[in-house]
Amino acid sequence: MPESESSPRALGFRMPAEWEPHEATWLAWPHNPEDWPGKFAPIPWLYAEIVRLLAARERVQLIVENAAAEKRVRSMLKRADADLNKVDFHRWPTDRGWTRDSGPIFIRDGAGKLGVTNWQFNGWANYDNWRLDDQLPGRVTELLGLPSWQPVVAQHDGTERRIVLEGGSIDVNGAGLMLTTEECLLSTVQQRNPGVSREQLEQVFSDYLGIDQVIWMNRGITGDDTHGHVDDITRFASVDTIITAVEPNTNDPNHELLAENLARLKAARTPEGKQFTIIELPMPRPVVFRGQRLPASYANFYIANGAVLMPTFHDVNDRVALNILAEAFPERDVIGVHSVDLIWGLGALHCMTQQQPKAG
């Protein structure tokens, strides 16, 4: 693909894979009870446990609303036995805590220098309160003193349009390949970027993330209010290994759509023309609360330094999925994190985390 002389790609930047070494994980502390209506009480304690697990392995950059929130959160983390020496606090107001989607997407060049791609966040084209979250990449850029780019495309009238993208809608192997879904990025119903074509998006991914090839899945799972985020269905486990969710129950609405995605993966090829190694990951039984089917999936795992955190749902498939991930990531501790309460907020472990790659 042709590239701009000033694009991150032209300057040698690419988006690293999640399994590459981290400097830190970014999280935003939950503060809005309406994100878990009627079930908010256990959520801060769940976050405290996740901070404990992460801080044992890497730094945690924790966003809190204000000084009073920081004091309260410090007390909770201390009681949860988290290593506060590994936690840095940032008093920035947010709308929600899904840092994967609103936070910065880091890139790194061949010399190990970090940069930030600052995509527009618009509440998943679904919610009105997103403007505080949209400021997160800029705040992180200023704090860390990194170069930053706002991805744009040229329009017919000669102006430039900033591109909307959430981190949960993409997954990369760090070597030029990306996974995403047509439902999220190309939907005519809930379109992030009206009038922007598939080819234009692929060019933007090339210019700003160093992507050579996009592997397009079709749709995401039932209950996903983000319109098909790929981090609920299909993830890279290595440069040429892909983990993908499957649902054998033909009566489940996820069966057909996940089968189609599996077929697409089997037809896909590596840049060398080989088939990918595909690992099938089961789905948990439907998780329902207040009559609503929730987007519960084991694929929403997070790869940290030395560990993989996987959501569990008090399901017989929990141990099956944990064993599959343990085989896929043999050098990491695969840890189940109870997420029946968390998923009521329509997100899980990958949705709440954003990795900052190690520089150098």
Catalytic residues: 351
Name the CA dihedral angle for 164, 199, 117, 356, rounded to a multiple of 10 degrees.
100
Nearest to 324 by CA among 241, 220, 221: 241
Inter-residue contact 265 to 242 (CB < 8 Å):
yes
Pull the structure tokens for residue 170.
Answer: 């993409």
Q: Which amino acid is at 305?
A: N
Interatomic CA distance for residues 104 and 116, integer angstroms: 6
Question: How far, rounded to the nearest angstrom, does the alpha carbon of residue 75 sit from its chain's CA centroid?
Answer: 28
DSSP reduced 3-state for 167: helix
Interatomic CA distance for residues 15 and 186, integer angstroms: 22
Strand (E) or helix (H) holding 292: strand 292-293
Q: Is the dihedral of CA 178, 100, 119, 358 positive or negative?
A: negative
Determine the angle formed by the axes of helices 67-79 and 43-55, rounding to 10 degrees: 70
Interatomic CA distance for residues 63 and 69, integer angstroms: 10
Interatomic CA distance for residues 300 and 278, integer angstroms: 17
Inter-residue contact 58 to 31 (CB < 8 Å):
no
DSSP reduced 3-state for 329: coil
Spatial neighbors of 221 by CB under 8 A, at least 6 apart, are: 232, 233, 245, 254, 257, 258, 283, 295, 297
DSSP reduced 3-state for 101: helix
